Amino acid sequence: MYNNKLPLIDLHRHLDGNIRPKTIWQLAQKNNIQLPETSFEDFLPHIKITNNEADLLAFLKKLDWGVKVLSSLDDVVRIGFENVEDAYQAKINYAELRFSPYYIAMTHNLPIEGVVEAIVEGVNLGRKKYPTQINLIGILSRTFGVENCHAELNALLTQKNNLVALDLAGDEYNYPGHLFESHFKKARDAGLQVTVHAGEAAGPESVWHAIEKLGATRIGHGVASARDQKLMDFMLKNEIGIESCLTSNYQTGTVKDLSKHPIKTFIDNGLNVCLNTDDPAVENIELEDEFNLACTLLKLNEQQISQLQHNAINMSFLSVNEKQKLTQLKSNDQN
């Protein structure tokens, strides 16, 4: 259980990894897209993880149907809105939703800039209806190569005032960070902060590179950091945050035994680490489930759980002022 006197925050949540199964089904009918099954129930295993997958790439394949059914910008607006609604229904007070416009655009050749605009529009509709506070992070999908990532970055920068950060996601093993140094320099120059998926499919060297060469102040997953004490010391000293996602790490095969997840090592080392979902609809979980896992399977105590929630506030890409407001949110609730 999480501490309900502190805000519930999800900093690592993929908007395009959280498209509702029902929405995928309905959009496929509406857009005449052939699915591999004729009944909704039979289709579910194609878009949800049932146990764990062989590796990160097998896991990522399950996300594909979600974007394959998006054949117009209106469909993209819809998933933007529904993501805010889902976060609200999951009792989340603040979420940073991340998305890869190229990944969303590619099946039906949607204009990438239009996709970025449509996500902003959908999320704004959600913001008007629900009190959950939302910020957006743009993703470069490394899996599609250096050139496509340039196009993706340019599209994201057309809406840079509606984004707080840039992320690098996808096939970390075959597309290492050094290919994307110029992309991240450009993003930092444009005023974006940086978080990078690293130390998930590759080793600690990938985390070092993300921090030193890409300018990351937060690392997505960072599982491999636990094998490098020097790296953890460096992260502590430089306040580099780790966005941990328990179920995701198990389902991608990154962590074989969840009860031995390195989040405990990160906490013991005093690192700025927090708990997140990653791709909730595909993983069939919500943030509350991850806190329950942390209590029951990982045996974190109340003080450690509260620490994770405090860390999430500290690590967020909010201003000092906004962080203060968020901290006070729950105390105001009770007055």
Residues making contact with Zn ion (CB under 5 A): 278
Phi, psi (rounded to 5 degrees) for 243: -95, 100
Whole-angstrom Cα distance, residue 67 to residue 78? 12
Residue nearest to Zn ion (CB): 278
- Least spacing, CB of residue 200 vs Zn ion, in Å: 8
- Least spacing, CB of residue 187 vs Zn ion, in Å: 18
Angle 320-333/302-315 helices, nearest 10 degrees? 140
Name which of 6 and 273 has its Cβ closer to Zn ion. Answer: 273
- Least spacing, CB of residue 245 vs Zn ion, in Å: 7
**Helix and strand counts by DSSP (H, E) for the chain:** 17, 8
Note if 152 is an active site residue. no
8 Å CB contact between 141 and 103: yes
Closest Cα to residue 245, out of 209, 195, 211? 195
Name which of 10 and 278 has its Cβ closer to Zn ion. Answer: 278
* SS3 state of residue 310: helix
Name which of 122 and 220 has its Cβ closer to Zn ion. Answer: 220
Q: Who contacts 164 (Cβ-Cβ below 8 Å, separation ≥6)? A: 96, 135, 136, 137, 192, 193, 317
Whole-angstrom Cα distance, residue 301 to residue 61? 35
Closest Cα to residue 318, out of 162, 164, 138? 164
Name which of 86 and 278 has its Cβ closer to Zn ion. Answer: 278
- Least spacing, CB of residue 91 vs Zn ion, in Å: 21
Q: Max Cα separation, the chain?
A: 55
- Least spacing, CB of residue 287 vs Zn ion, in Å: 14
Q: What spatial distance separates the first Cα and last Cα of the chain, rounded to whole Å?
A: 23
Name which of 219 and 318 has its Cβ closer to Zn ion. Answer: 219
Name which of 71 and 225 has its Cβ closer to Zn ion. Answer: 225
Classify residue 105 as exposed, middle or buried by CB count within 10 Å of its CB (0-12, 13-18, 19+): buried
Question: Which residue type is seen at 264?
Answer: K
Among candidate residues 96, 117, 172, 200, the one labeled active-site is: 200
- Least spacing, CB of residue 220 vs Zn ion, in Å: 5
Whole-angstrom Cα distance, residue 62 to residue 53? 10
Annotated catalytic residues are 200
